[in-house]
């Protein structure tokens, strides 16, 4: 080997050693891939904090309790809104195919800041307080969510095949997007069906 070859090997070895020595500092500047796909999730648990015993047959004034939770595995801090909405069996639900939320007005909302790889969970108490029954039509006129009372107008037509007036209490997950400086629907929703028989 000539002197030029030794010089090239020496410089190459020095560069490799410098990169190895600097790797802890570089990991702060250049984030390494965790190998996981970023995702978010939302869930509803029953009153016993399990995936069971969800309220279904409800009556006027009866107080119900469930839990709603959100998981953040987006690889960053997330500022979230969980919208609580109510719909009858004919009103439009969120559409997973087109990633569009329900056009219904939220009745209640939760806001949370969730660290990466963390979860957030809150109890939800609700009660249908007033309803008008007119033959094959039932109209919920007053509802309570977490001790806040709402005047509403939610009609439901008697479902002959399933023998009931059906409503869905559902939760949509929205997260703040820095790029567009607004909350964006995450194509995540979950809900429970309620049979409001009188």
pLDDT 10s digits, 139-169: 999 999 999 999 999 999 999 999 999 999 9
Total tally of structural domains belonging to the chain:
2
Does 107 share its domain with 149? yes
pLDDT at 7: 74
Question: Would the pLDDT of 188 be above 60?
Answer: yes
Nearest CA-CA partner of 140 in 150, 149, 153, 127: 153
Between 37 and 185, name the one with better pLDDT. Answer: 185
Does 62 share its domain with 122? yes
Residues 6+ apart with CB under 8 A from 185: 94, 99, 100, 101, 172, 173, 174
Domain span holding position 24: 1-32
Does 76 share its domain with 146? yes
The C-alpha angle 176, 179, 180, rounded to 5 degrees, equals 70
Phi, psi of 152 (to 5 degrees): -130, 175
Long-range contacts of 1-7 (CB under 8 A, 24+ apart): none
Confidence grade of residue 6 (pLDDT, cut at 50, 70, 90):
low
Give CA separation, 109 vs 88, 97, 106, 164, 171, in Å.
19, 24, 7, 28, 9
Lowest-pLDDT range of 25-29, 47-51, 67-71, 128-132: 25-29
Does 21 share its domain with 94? no
Confidence grade of residue 197 (pLDDT, cut at 50, 70, 90):
confident
Distance of alpha carbon 25 from its chain centroid, rounded? 36
Look at the block and give the residue holding tokens 């979860």: 119
Total residues found in the chain within this entry: 198
pLDDT at 34: 56
Does 110 share its domain with 190? yes
Q: Kindly report, residue by residue over 60-116, the tens digit of the pLDDT.
A: 999 999 999 999 999 999 999 999 999 998 999 999 999 999 999 999 999 999 999
- Average pLDDT for 164-191: 97
Does 24 share its domain with 45? no
Does 99 share its domain with 47? yes
Residue 73 near residue 42, CB atoms below 8 Å? no
Does 91 share its domain with 178? yes
């Amino acid at each position: 080997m000539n002197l030029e070859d030794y010089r090239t090997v020496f410089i190459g070895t020095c560069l490799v050693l410098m990169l190895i020595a600097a790797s802890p500092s570089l990991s702060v500047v250049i984030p390494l891939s965790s190998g996981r796909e970023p995702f978010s999730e939302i869930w509803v648990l029953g009153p016993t904090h399990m995936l069971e015993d969800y309220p279904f047959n409800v009556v006027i004034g009866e107080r119900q309790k469930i839990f709603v939770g959100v998981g953040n595995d987006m690889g960053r801090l997330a500022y979230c809104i969980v919208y609580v909405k109510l719909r009858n069996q004919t009103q439009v639900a969120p559409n997973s195919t087109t990633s569009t939320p329900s056009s219904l007005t939220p009745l209640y909302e939760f806001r949370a800041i969730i660290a990466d790889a963390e979860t957030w969970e809150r109890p939800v108490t609700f009660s249908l307080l007033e309803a008008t029954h007119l033959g094959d039509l039932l109209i919920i006129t007053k509802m309570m969510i977490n001790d806040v009372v709402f005047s509403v107008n939610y009609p439901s037509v008697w479902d002959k095949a399933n023998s009931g007036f059906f409503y869905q209490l559902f939760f949509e997950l929205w997260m703040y997007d820095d790029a567009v400086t607004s909350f964006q629907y995450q194509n995540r929703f979950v809900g429970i069906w309620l049979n409001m028989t009188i």
